[in-house]
Chains A and B, each alone.
Chain A
Amino acid sequence: MAEHFYLDTNALYAFYRDNMVSLAKHPNYQHYQDMKGGLIVRRLSSSTATIYVSNLTYLEFLGNLMRHERTQRNGKWELSRREVNLLRERLKKDIGTTARHRFRLVPTIDGVFQYGRALMISHARRGQCELGTNDALHIAIAKLMQPKVILVTSDGGGQRGDTFAKMKCVCQRIGLEFFDPEE
């Protein structure tokens, strides 16, 4: 059965950074090995999967790149201009609205912010889930979009483990399928 996935910014980042190319290319997931990023995407390797990203994902990804281009560490720029341009070209080739694109761009959805507010009100109060603004938006997009998708994020090698749990918390409450590699 064809499955549909939605990647938030960290999932997209993990895809590119942790070289999950091999998964994307070869349907035989048994060859998959644990990736540093900690995100096991067995089901992503299925050739019938369609993977979505939103304009928010795209924007945040780019924003992250630009921040690294502006920042220095130990006297060197974290990303050179050339590297940023290469990454931009890669993104342009991969993200779009036709069948040839690796990641399908979700069209803008009405009511995303409204739903985000609703999430905050219903699930982010004292005693409920710890929900950040960005996560709220991604969850809202994933929940509202057509077709039905499975939300994918990355725990960044365990460094983001608690955020993972936070997102999972909300998704379970609203009945949004959440890709948890541990299951």
Chain B
Amino acid sequence: MNDYPFRALIVDDEVPVRDELALLLQEHHFMVETAADGEEGLQKLLTDEFDVAVVDLKMPKMGGLEMIRKADAKEIDTYVVILTGHGDREDAITALRLQNTVKEWFDKPILDDDAFAQRVKEVAEGVPLDEVSKILSKLPPTIQV
């Protein structure tokens, strides 16, 4: 089945950030792919193979926001966690509000790796199946079509 492991795409132009976050998520049982700029990230996103994308906002060639918007335009609605840290917090907040695939943001440098990984996992999972079950349990056990 495809519940486990989750697949993450890390898009960041800084090599140590890419490599370390990849290691971190792999330790949390993610399958990880990386991209060094928005263009490469977009190509990979368009395969629709990822449960979550971790995206840096400021990158050469194509920034994070533009990449997310372009993916969205092609109906790829992978949930996104954005990374901020170049004095672009306002952009992050705009992204959160306007782009409904953006579910969370983290400032760089990341100071709590566990919290970060945990949150990425939650975003990758989406609405927990337990919650879905709870909601539907209020309804009759079969569907009258």
Contacts and interface: CB of A to CB of B under 8 A. Distances in A.
Interface in A13-60: 13-14, 16-19, 21, 24-25, 36-37, 45, 47, 49, 60
A19 B130 contact: yes
A68 B48 contact: no
Interface in B89-136: 126-127, 129-133, 135-136
Contacts of A100: 2, 7, 48-51
B1 A19 contact: no
Contacts of A156: 141-142
Nearest to A89: B127
Contact of A96 (B48, B132, B133, B139): B48
A49 B132 CA distance: 23
Which range holds the interface residue count of chain B?
A: 20 to 34
Which range holds the interface residue count of chain A?
A: 35 or more
Contacts of B13: none
B73 interface: no
Contacts of A174: none
Interface string B1-34: 1111001000000000000000000000000000
A13 B137 CA distance: 10
Given A17-B133, A98-B48, A100-B51, A90 B3 contact: no
B77 interface: yes
Contacts of B49: 98-100
B137 A17 contact: yes
A3 B77 CA distance: 29
B86 interface: no
A20 to B, nearest CB: 9
A72 interface: no
B127 to A, nearest CB: 4
A90 B142 contact: no
B141 A157 contact: yes
A154 B142 CA distance: 8
A10 to B, nearest CB: 6
A60 B49 CA distance: 26
Interface stretch (A79-87, A107-115, A120-128, A140-148): A79-87
B143 A10 contact: yes
Contacts of B137: 17
A16 B2 contact: no
A16 B137 CA distance: 9
A78 B141 contact: no
A101 B139 contact: no
B3 A78 contact: no
Interface of A: 9-10, 13-14, 16-19, 21, 24-25, 36-37, 45, 47, 49, 60-61, 63-64, 68, 78-79, 83, 86-87, 89-90, 92-93, 96-102, 134, 154, 156-157, 159-160
12 contacts: A13-B136, A17-B141, A18-B133, A21-B129, A25-B3, A45-B1, A63-B145, A86-B127, A90-B126, A97-B48, A156-B142, A157-B142
